[in-house]
Amino acid sequence: MSRKLEQLQPEKVFYYFEEISQIPRRSGNEKAISDYMVGFAKERGLKVIQDEYNNVVIYKNGTEGYESSPAVILQGHLDMVCEQNEGTGHDFEKDPIDLMIDGEWLTANGTTLGADNGIAVAYILAVLDSSELKHPPIEAVFTTDEEVGLTGALMMDKSVLNAKYFINLDSEEEGELTVGCAGGLKAKLSLPVTLTTNEFDQPVVKKIRIKGLKGGHSGVDIDKNRANADRVMGRVLSHLREEFSLRLVDVKGGSKDNVIPREAEVTLVIEDELIGHFKEHFTQVVADVKHELRTGEPELTIVEETLSFSESMHIMSKDSTDTVIFTLINVPNGIQTMSADLEGMVESSLNLGKVAVEDQRVIFLFAVRSNVRTLKYHITNQLQWFANQIGAVFIQTADYPEWEFKPESNLLTQAAKIYEANTGKEPIVKAIHAGLEPGAFLEKLPHLDAISIGPDMEEVHSPNERLHIKSTERTWDFLKEILAALK
């Protein structure tokens, strides 16, 4: 394999990042990357454990002078969000990530890069592979299915860990020391719909597509005023429903509960005698939406086309059509509360991440987040009530704990001191609204002293994801110094 990143520094970190980028690792498809970790450990004579969930723990003794120091967990997750631009044609089940260097940034060709959280894996492998770094005993923890609910971290047997310190490497901004995170919950509303035969004398089929939205991470980007394609589609349909008697055939938007949808499309049927007014009203609602989103979503496009009608089409009844549209525009979505303790921090939110037709049901997938446990369950209860009122079935699919800040932290003190000595600036100490895995470990191992760090990344969970190359190098140096300080 020809190396695209061999000139980048730190050499070993980017070597391993390129290695794992060759291995498909969509959430739920991590066996190959998990086996790679096991092989890596065995080749170096390191003790390794692989569990039934494909989590891997690799143990490395402390270096000279650190043999009896308290152990430190280095942790990252093996899976990645798999998103691609329309027409890219990437097969995440078998194709390697097509890495590209774009000036100061590393990105991918039309797909997510997988730096979330591949860069953590690369950092940890570089530590394990080094014979020169000074460090305490290492317990390298590689978890699975983080992106779909922290499943691997939650299910892992924590009794195999004996460390005092915990360094998670899943943060996305250099200079920030993360010391807490939101808990999360995933939910599905399953709405039964009634299918009928065509009731119009001269039916016309229209397909409406929404594209060009920024999308992004449903935790990190929820406060950036980014439009949700499913909600925008609801807006368009609601406007058209006021003017026309329309029936839905298909509706889909987004791909995962924890990703703000970038694209959506619907197929619908209207009466031919009304088609002369369709263009006028469609153009008006598109103009309204684009004006409202002109600053935050300048690339938004909303287009329509006419398709051929078929008597075999599965057409939703009037009541089912209305209920779907009602749900798209009224179900809770976005920021719910802001923190009263940390200025500018989102406290609770939920994201409508996916809408799709499955058999005779329309499903709506949600990611609920909150730094306050009771609010997480209150929002969930709201969804339950909403589901009851529209005749949908509510299903909870995952639940993971928050990570509460511990003000007395030697690890935080050491990391902050090192950062300030290197940069002349104080680091930003913060809790984030996204879910991080330390919460799943501290729930069972409350003695752990934990922080999360990482290099600068942008647009994670989208095909625009990119990793800053120099920041990756600086964060590597920062990590090495933290390890050396934990004697």
Q: Which position among 19, 30, 139, 146 bears the catalytic label?
A: 146
CA distance to 102, 138, 140, 163, 195, per residue, from 66 (Å): 40, 11, 16, 14, 69
Residue 146 appears among annotated catalytic residues: yes
CB 101 within 8 A of CB 448: no
Rounded distance, CA 98 to CA 223, Å? 30
Strand 138-143 to 72-77 pairing: parallel
Q: What does the alpha-carbon distance between residue 407 and residue 266 come to, in Å, rounded to a whole number? A: 50
Contact present, 429 and 412 (Cβ < 8 Å): yes
Buried b (16+ CB within 10 A) or exposed e, 422-456: eeeeebebbbbbbbbbbbbbbbebeebbbbbbbbb
According to DSSP, the β-strands at 259-260 and 428-432 are: unpaired
Strands (E), 330-424: 334-338, 346-358, 361-370, 393-400
- Is 341 considered catalytic here? no
> How many other CB atoms are there within 10 angstroms of residue 298's CB atom?
10
- Helices and strands: H and E segment counts in the chain: 11, 25
Dist. CA 387–CA 153, nearest whole Å: 30
Give the C-alpha separation, 399 to 364, whole Å: 17
Buried b (16+ CB within 10 A) or exposed e, 88-104: eebebeeeebebeeeee
Secondary structure (DSSP) of 3-38: -SSTTSSSHHHHHHHHHHHTS--BTT--HHHHHHHH
Secondary structure of residue 430 in the 3-state scheme? strand
> Considering only CA atoms, which of 347, 56, 313 is closest in space to residue 195?
313
Q: Which of 110, 51, 117 is nearest to 79 (CA)?
A: 117
Q: How far apart are CA 454 and CA 447, in angstroms?
A: 23
Read off φ and ψ for residue 271, nearest 5 degrees: -80, 135
**Strand 428-432 relative to strand 176-181: parallel, antiparallel, unpaired?**
parallel
* Helices 410-423, 469-485: crossing angle, 10 deg rounding: 130
Catalytic-labelled residue, pool 79, 83, 170, 221:
79
* DSSP summary character for residue 471: H
Give the residue numbers marked as catalytic.
Answer: 79, 146
